[in-house]
Amino acid sequence: MQILLIFLLVSAAAGLGVLAFVKPKSRKQVEQRLRRSRGGRPASAPAAVPPARGFLPRLFAWLEPHMEGRFAEELEVRVQQRLLMAGDHGTAVSTFLAQKALAAIGIPAGWLLGGGWILELTWPVVGGGAVAAAWLGWILPDERLKVLIQRRQAAIVRVLPTTLDLLTTCVEAGLSLQAAMAKVVELGKPNPLREELERTLREIQLGRSRAEALRELGRRTGLPELNAVAVAMVQAETMGASIARTLRVQSEILRETRWQKAQERAQAATLKLTFPVVFLIFPTLFIIIFGPLLLSLVLGQ
């Protein structure tokens, strides 16, 4: 009973500790959130939200509204940018921060339950492990998001030269840049770059200027290569230069950059192979070659 009471107190303290580092909502932020939640719907017809079932979904549903607007604006902007870079356009900042807070509470709670009650470890070990588990739970969503960003950026870089070639072919055939992007989206295989181009086309159709939409395409992905391509396309369109020639030059630059990176990796592979060759392969070869000779000398004596 005492262990259960200590577990509940530590969990509550961890939750209060997370909320202690956030700032309270202001009246202006609450009004903005209410306007966003209405979204132009009449007050008499609120959206129906299904009730959450289970302890964890209810805890998450209770925690998510408390995360919105409570952190610093710079942190929320940075988290939103990272979510866009990972291609996660449906997860709100408050949802992601609620996931971090829930992981920072749930993982140490599980450690306290398993280490203190089941394994019956000493309380210094349990307390230190709980602190480490809380820190691990807080950074795990960020690390997972980092991996998703790296995979998505690598996939975009891999298909970017081919996509530029397709855009060049469509533009040289007489299509405008927007029509060429629509054709690539229509006929291209599913990939992250195709999704970003489709999102850019939707922004243009909703009234955003083509230059702003292209610049946002470069910023949203966080890739210097794609950002350079978007800036070059905007400059070519603004100055009246040939868009097809600009796209072809950018495609050649990307392929040359990829070749240079491949050469750098090939040269670095020799240095990376030094340790396994010297400390793993050579000793094994020496044992295989000189082992029987040493055995014969020892047994012969």
- Residue 57's pLDDT band, with cuts at 50, 70 and 90, is low
Q: What is the pLDDT of residues 33-42, one digit of tens each?
A: 544 444 443 3
Residue of 83, 199, 206 whose CA lies nearest to 214: 199
Supply the pLDDT for residue 67: 65
Please check whether residues 198 and 137 belong to one and the same domain: no
Same domain, 246 and 192: yes
Q: Does residue 23 register a pLDDT over 50?
A: no
Listing DSSP states for 264-290 in one string gives HHHHHHHHHTHHHIIIIIHHHHHHHHH
- Is the same domain home to 131 and 141? yes
Q: Do 112 and 191 have their domain in common?
A: no
pTM of the shown model: 0.67
pLDDT tens, position by position, 187-246 = 888 899 999 999 999 999 988 888 899 889 888 888 888 888 888 888 888 888 888 888
Which of 114, 133, 151 is at the close of a domain? 151
The reply to whether 202 falls in a domain is yes
Question: Quick one: pLDDT band at residue 148, thresholds 50, 70, 90?
Answer: very high
Where is the domain boundary, 112, 132, 151? Answer: 151
Q: 59 CB contacts (<8 Å, ≥6 apart)?
A: 102
Same domain, 182 and 131: no
pLDDT at 30: 45
Residue range 11-26: mean pLDDT, rounded:
48
**Based on the number of CB atoms within 10 Å of its own CB, is 261 exposed (0-12), middle (13-18) or buried (19 or more)?**
exposed
Cα–Cα distance for residue pair 58/62, rounded to 1 Å: 6
- Rounded to whole angstroms, how far apart are CA atoms 254 and 19? 46
pLDDT for 257-282, tens place per residue?
A: 888 888 888 888 888 888 888 888 88
The length of the chain is 301
pLDDT at 76: 80
Q: What is the pLDDT of residue 84?
A: 87
Domain that holds residue 185: 153-266
- Count of domains for the chain: 2
Is residue 255, in this structure, part of any structural domain at all?
A: yes
Domain boundary among 106, 125, 151: 151
Q: Is residue 36 part of a domain?
A: no
